[in-house]
């Protein structure tokens, strides 16, 4: 049956509204951004062709309908979407003879902050553009939001709450399989809109300011939006990276941004171009949906057609079996790609995949390989019912509308291998010379069944020296590394155990609270754990549940028979209390940055990754550097100290 234009429009509205609901309300994705944009563009074209706009069309709305239990707030100024283009020449033509500001289009959740008398009084999400959700308590625990600023007039600004790729990977690793997020944007949105701010505090959310809405009218910006951004930086806000461009320079600057995508800390899904001239911008006004003074530039996704050859299934330490598409190699964004994560069973089924199908692939945000479309849609692939690692039963589970495949065998070697790989990693027990492949060999020989077996490997010394890839020297080196790891800190052990939500920072907080006595923690009630700063009910429940499990209790006691947990002297010395430092560049007095950060934390201070008004000092031996951190410190009047100066001023008596 062939649909007429109106019928197709109704179908598109239904599909797009459901996708938007899942994306904004459930923090999940039922289609990629690329698919959504294609359907949206089709709807726009049909509306233009027919001259008809149907009720509920997403082309007439902005953001999402607010349905959570967070308080609702009406925005002082409506938040509109941006018109967009993927054509660089079109963007250049739009700029014309004007001077523009080109910046990253951050991929997170838009937030509006309001300050009165120099204090943060309100934070609101974008919502539907007219009404948002109040998240003030959560914004107060973002990693870099100033709670007090020097400007005492009423100030309203907009920015993006974002989460780094590194934090995304860390949190997803600690979450149960059914709770994992597909991308940093979804995780950030779910975190920012939590009802319990302690959960937000446990995660690394940053606020990147991108625009001033209003002030008290007593600040001179010289008719320049760039000056507005400088003003926000002087107040201690991290502002989005911005380049001043003209028609002569814009194409080169777009390319410069593109060349750096792979190395950026935070995700972005394009660029934003706005006119610098404030008066000119005001004179342009707005349409029903878009401001006329700004334009979004979306990366032109490079796609390639290829053939799906196989689907690999990899078992994680949580038992989740993850599907990965393997296809004929193609060139994308300058690299050869032949694998793409399918994420879960739901997505595999939605794509209607079958071996031999012709598919198109691209890189989401020009970084992460994804399947864009299945051209064949044979829907012939059968989900395995056995774990690829142990042949144990694999079952499809559904949680919050997402289907995943999980291994039910508690003794699955893949779970064991992944758990041991995490246990010996640098930020955990720090055992050199134990790769995943070596751990797998030892597990196959029956040498590694539980963590304590690592410290029984010396019983296999003779066999170890005869193994392929090992000799007398390498065997002794490995055993010596294992021996060194026996003398460790409680926080390292806690992080190594793989408890949901317990990484290095949480491990340190627990060790401090329980005075480096792990048995106190093992006996602690959930309520006591949840009252520790930075912990919420979810993490407290996970920790309590872990230590209530008899097999985990036995495993920990077995481990403790080999380990010596260093008891750091609690001197009570907090000479750096209330201070925050940023470290950059190479170090001379410390073996690495982590060692200096540990010293700062031991003395009651905090270390941060970016310079803001809250920074006490930037530690950089190259004080003449033109790095972005040095520039920001100078702009905000933050002292730049060498290691020697830091130690003399803050540490040495």
Question: Residue 303: is it exposed, middle or buried by C-beta count within 10 angstroms (0-12/13-18/19+)?
Answer: middle
The count of residues in the chain is 653
Among 98, 80, 81, 84, residue whose Cα is nearest residue 297: 84
- Beta strand extents in 555-602 (DSSP E only): 564-565, 580-583
Catalytic choice (17, 84, 86, 105): 105
Q: CB–CB of 612/636 below 8 Å? A: yes
Q: Which of 80, 107, 85 is nearest to 95 (CA)?
A: 85
639-651: burial string, b at 16+ Cβ within 10 Å, e else: ebbbbeebbeebe
Structure tokens at 24: 């904004």
DSSP 568: -
Q: How far is CA 462 from CA 169, 466, 475, in A?
A: 39, 7, 9
Q: What is the 3-state secondary structure (H, E, C) of 346-414?
A: HHHHHCCCCCCCEEEEEEECCCEEEEEEECCCCCCCCCCCECCCCCCEEEEEEECCEEEEEECCCCCHH
Place of tokens 């829907």: 379
- Three-state SS sequence of 15-70: HHHHHHHHHHCCCCCCCCHHHHHHHHHHHHHHHHHHCCCCCCCHHHCCCCCCCCCC
225 part of the active site: no
C-alpha span between 510 and 504 (Å, rounded): 10
Q: What is the DSSP string of 504-559?
A: HHHHHHHHHHTTT-HHHHHH--HHHHHTSTT--HHHHHHHHHHHHSHHHHHHHHHH
Question: What does the block give as tokens for 515?
Answer: 């005075």
Q: What residues are annotated to the active site?
A: 105
């Amino acid at each position: 049956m062939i649909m007429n234009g109106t019928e197709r429009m109704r179908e598109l509205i239904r599909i797009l509204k459901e996708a938007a609901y899942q994306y904004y309300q459930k923090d999940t994705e039922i289609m990629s951004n690329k698919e959504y944009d294609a359907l949206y563009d089709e709807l726009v074209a049909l509306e233009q062709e027919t001259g008809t706009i149907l009720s509920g069309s997403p082309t007439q709305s902005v953001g999402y309908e607010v349905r959570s239990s967070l308080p609702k707030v009406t925005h002082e100024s409506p938040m509109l979407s941006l018109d967009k283009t993927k054509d660089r020449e079109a963007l250049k033509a739009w700029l014309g003879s004007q001077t523009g500001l080109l910046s990253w289009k951050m991929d997170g959740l838009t937030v509006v902050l309001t300050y009165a008398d120099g204090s943060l009084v309100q934070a609101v999400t974008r919502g539907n553009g007219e009404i948002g959700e109040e998240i003030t308590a959560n914004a107060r625990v973002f990693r870099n939001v100033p709670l007090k600023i020097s400007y005492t007039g009423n100030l309203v600004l907009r920015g993006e709450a974002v989460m780094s790729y590194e934090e995304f990977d860390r949190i997803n690793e600690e979450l149960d399989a059914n709770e994992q997020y597909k991308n940093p944007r979804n995780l950030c949105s779910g975190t920012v809109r939590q009802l319990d701010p302690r959960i937000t505090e446990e995660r690394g959310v940053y606020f990147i300011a991108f625009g001033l809405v209003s002030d008290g009218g007593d600040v001179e910006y010289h008719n320049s939006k760039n000056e507005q951004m400088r003003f926000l930086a002087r107040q201690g806000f991290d502002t989005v990276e911005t380049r001043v461009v003209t028609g002569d320079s814009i194409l080169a600057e777009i390319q410069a941004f593109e060349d750096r995508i792979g190395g950026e800390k935070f995700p972005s899904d394009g660029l934003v171009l706005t006119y610098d001239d404030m008066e000119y911008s005001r004179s342009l006004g707005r349409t029903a949906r878009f401001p006329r003074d700004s334009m979004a530039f979306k990366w032109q996704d490079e796609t390639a057609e290829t053939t799906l050859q196989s689907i690999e299934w990899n078992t994680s330490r949580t038992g989740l079996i993850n599907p990965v598409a393997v296809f004929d190699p193609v060139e994308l964004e300058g690299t050869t790609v032949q694998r793409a994560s399918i994420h879960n069973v739901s997505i595999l089924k939605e794509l209607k995949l079958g071996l031999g199908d012709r598919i198109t692939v691209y890189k989401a945000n020009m970084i992460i390989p994804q399947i864009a479309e299945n051209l064949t849609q044979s829907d012939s692939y059968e989900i395995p019912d056995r774990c690829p690692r142990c042949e144990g039963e694999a079952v499809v589970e559904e949680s919050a509308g997402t289907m995943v495949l999980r291994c039910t065998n508690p003794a699955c070697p893949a779970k064991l291998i992944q758990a041991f790989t995490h246990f010996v990693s640098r930020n955990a027990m720090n055992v050199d010379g134990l790769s995943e492949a070596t751990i797998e060999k030892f597990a196959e020989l029956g040498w590694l069944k539980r963590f304590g077996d690592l410290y029984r490997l010396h019983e296999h010394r003779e066999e170890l020296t005869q193994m392929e890839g090992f000799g007398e020297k390498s065997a002794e080196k490995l055993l010596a590394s294992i021996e060194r790891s026996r003398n460790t800190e409680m926080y390292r052990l806690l992080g190594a155990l793989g408890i949901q939500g317990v990484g290095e920072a949480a491990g340190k907080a627990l060790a401090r609270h329980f005075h480096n006595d792990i048995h106190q923690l093992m006996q602690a009630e959930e309520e006591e754990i949840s009252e520790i700063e930075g912990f919420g009910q979810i993490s407290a429940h996970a920790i309590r549940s872990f230590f209530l499990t008899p097999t985990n209790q036995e495993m920990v006691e077995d481990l403790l028979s080999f380990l010596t947990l260093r008891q750091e002297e609690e001197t009570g010395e907090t000479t750096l209390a209330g201070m925050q430092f940023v470290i950059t560049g190479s170090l001379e007095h410390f073996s690495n940055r982590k060692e200096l950060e540990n010293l700062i934390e031991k003395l009651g201070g905090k270390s941060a990754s970016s310079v803001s008004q809250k920074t006490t000092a930037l530690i950089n031996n190259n004080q003449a550097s033109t790095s972005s951190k040095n520039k920001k410190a100078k702009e905000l009047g933050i002292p730049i100290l060498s290691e020697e100066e830091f130690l003399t001023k803050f540490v040495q008596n």
